[in-house]
Structure 1
Amino acid sequence: MTYRENTIIAYRHGMPLWTPNVIVDCNVTLQSSVNERYEGQTSGSDEFGVQYTFIPQVGAPIVTPGTEILTDISAWKKQIRFPDVDSYDWEAGSSRDTANWDREKFSVVQLFNGPFERLHALMGFENALIALLEYPSDVFEFFEAFTEYRIKMYKKIAQYYKPDSIMVFDDYGADHSMLLSPDCWRTLIKPHIKKAIDTVHDLGIFYTLHSCGFIRPIFKDIVEMGADAIHPMQYVNDAPALKKEYGRHITFTGGFDNIGILDNPGAEPEDIRKEVRRVLQELAADGSYVAWQTVLSKEARKIFLDEIMQHSAPKMTTAGIEPPDWTTLIQ
């Protein structure tokens, strides 16, 4: 049994021999040849020409206010130029990005800026929300074209990276509510995500949807679309209740309370350990689960990983797998 095989059991909604976690069991990368989002620490642009500025307090770049490229959604065909997917050096990029991959691990290629995120990156958030309400047919057409563009990328990723899963980022939730109405999402976004999922499945790849915030009102829809896994399944969604209802149809990856505990500077080490134990008990006990969370603090990540591995290492040994020295994995 390899790390990859064990994680695939979880992705098929079964009971793995141990609880996989993203640090030990997975390879994860973006595509270095595709500038989906400026990732520097000053300012720069992405593949569509969107301008970003690094915000130290946030620790990440955000779209620079006042630099919107798409000023009229009804004129998107004139104002937006989709990048030429064939022009990227996929062979060189994939060679760089997978150079340190262990193919006995579960491999994931991530893509930022799904359809909703791309729309508000181009227009600005307020203008994007107005467009959803006032010009739905134009938005639908833009999403349709964007999905075709992305499908070309999925095929290149399948050819050059050969991943087990593609993870697409498209955040629909705020802290305690959705960013758009569930009905609006179902009408304008769901059909295109469904088409993307079907394409990825036709390529023999699992589809992981990353969507932050409160998404419980559309969770049944996400399952119906055929997404194989959901990430990060934040605490506000009552993940244990959703897992009980849908855990045989979709794999949960995450489920931790980041805001209150994992990324809270005031959290004590034992608070972090208790939170990990809670999630393992509530979400991992019956399988269909991968311990995957982004923890900002290096010290918190070490505690997070240590608690998970104390749970998984004995099971790995029983399965004939020698656990790695996980104390060296976070530098």
Structure 2
Amino acid sequence: MTGARENYLLAARGERPYWVPSFTEDSNTFMPDFWSALDPDTGADFMNVKWVENEFGKMPREDWRAMEDIGRWRDFAKFPDLSTLDWEGMVARARQAHAPDKVNMALLNTYGIFLIPVNMLGWVDALCAIYTDREELEAFVSAITDFLVETARYIGRYFKPDIIVTGDDFAAASGPFLAREVFAGLYKPYLRKIIDACKAQGALVEFHCCGNCGYLIGEFLDLGVDICQLPMPNDALVGDKKKYGGRLVLTGGWDRRGPGAVPGAPEHAVRQSVRTAIDTYGRDGALIFWDGGICGQSADARQKLAWVSDELHTYGQEIYRR
């Protein structure tokens, strides 16, 4: 009998699984502790970023700048010494909550060579640095890359994941933040090093990028990404799915801006939104369903989650039996 892990990996490899796997329900996750660790005296992380968290997520504090000048990144970015960390202990604690028949997924990072400078400087200064202080910005990007490459090696050695998730939010709802030539010239070579390091651990690579990814989809596939996590559903993504077929494996599919996501959406609209996601992006496989994290703890949010989960379990079980 096929288990959740085997089924998940079929979809992750661009094949037709037995049912539509669920990102949230069918995976064990591991992430190194240092990403959530805060200095007890300053309340800042190892990049000197201070965070504010509520029921909708975690964001850098708007009234705080980790640094004012990209040229001073060496003074403020304090990368952990990975050789001194208790990797065996971290993995052991994670595995206590893991189910044996789920896919093992390691979160290398959820923000990286693009968003770390943004988090430290703010959007305006970080984007301006691309043009006003390219040399220092690239030096910082290179240092972050080296750190992530080394982290991937430790993850591979101690956790031995099926999938390693890396990424950066290079796009907004209106499209990518960067011109293609900027992405290709400044960021792509370093992303290739990170992705190659992940693959060297024997893992599939999943790249997280929210928003309307546009040209980025092709770039991610060119880099060797196996799974694209959470690009915003739109006509361009539908076109990409038709163009690339099973080569474009998606984690996501659910339209967080569609009729099933609006406050107070009726049950039939929420259920139809799940069917639409599966029919549009996963009819032939290569889809790992994720609603993207319905935010909040309101009664409306909890009810949506229940309808989405139930419809995924029913329609998602039927779709590949036809």
Give the TM-score normalised by structure 2. 0.89
- Partners of 1:312 and 1:177 lie apart in 2 by 30
Identity across the alignment (%): 24
Amino acid paired to 1:35:
W
- What whole-Å deviation, never above 9, does each CA across 1:268-300 have from its counterpart, x for those lacking one? 121111111111111111111111232222221
| Match in the other structure for 1:16 | 17
Shift in Å, 1:234: 1.2
| Match in the other structure for 2:212 | 214
Aligned partners of 2:169 and 2:208 also within 8 Å: yes
Distance 1:236 1:65, change over 3 A: same
Distance 1:135 1:201, change over 3 A: same
Question: Matches of residues 275-314 of structure 1 in structure 2 within 5 Å?
Answer: 275-293=273-291, 294-296=293-295, 297-313=301-317
Q: Does 1:47 align with 2:50?
A: no
| Match in the other structure for 2:35 | 35
Shift in Å, 1:161: 2.0
- Partners of 1:105 and 1:114 lie apart in 2 by 27
Amino acid paired to 1:94:
V
Q: Does 1:172 align with 2:170?
A: yes
Q: Is there any run of 5+ residues in structure 2 with no aligned partner, and where?
A: 296-300
Q: Quote the RMSD (CA, aligned, Å).
A: 2.2
In structure 2, the residue corresponding to 1:291 is in which secondary structure? strand
Aligned partners of 2:250 and 2:286 also within 8 Å: yes
- Partners of 1:287 and 1:160 lie apart in 2 by 31
Aligned partners of 1:37 and 1:112 also within 8 Å: no
Which range is displaced more, 247-256 or 274-283? 247-256
| Match in the other structure for 1:195 | 193
Amino acid paired to 2:28:
N
Shift in Å, 1:228: 0.5
| Match in the other structure for 2:159 | 161
Give runs of ≥4 in structure 1 deviating > 4 Å. Answer: none
- Partners of 2:46 and 2:184 lie apart in 1 by 28
| Match in the other structure for 1:109 | 106
Shift in Å, 1:144: 1.1
- Partners of 2:262 and 2:30 lie apart in 1 by 26
Shift in Å, 1:314: 5.1
- Partners of 2:235 and 2:138 lie apart in 1 by 28
The structure 2 residue matched to 1:72, chosen from 69, 75, 81, is 69
Q: Does 1:93 align with 2:90?
A: yes
Distance 1:24 1:78, change over 3 A: closer
Shift in Å, 1:251: 0.9
| Match in the other structure for 1:323 | none
- What whole-Å deviation, never above 9, does each CA across 1:175-227 have from its counterpart, x for those lacking one? 11222222211111111111111111111011111101111122111110010
| Match in the other structure for 1:4 | 5
Aligned partners of 2:29 and 2:105 also within 8 Å: yes
- Partners of 1:197 and 1:171 lie apart in 2 by 16
Distance 1:202 1:269, change over 3 A: same
| Match in the other structure for 1:25 | 26
Which range is displaced more, 119-128 or 96-105? 96-105
| Match in the other structure for 2:298 | none
- What whole-Å deviation, never above 9, does each CA across 1:71-94 have from its counterpart, x for those lacking one? 222333344332212232222222
Shift in Å, 1:17: 1.7
Distance 1:44 1:268, change over 3 A: farther
* Aligned positions, number: 310
- Partners of 1:169 and 1:270 lie apart in 2 by 34
The structure 1 residue matched to 2:56, chosen from 44, 59, 72, is 59
Give the TM-score normalised by structure 1. 0.86
| Match in the other structure for 1:325 | none
- Partners of 1:154 and 1:261 lie apart in 2 by 39
Amino acid paired to 2:61:
T
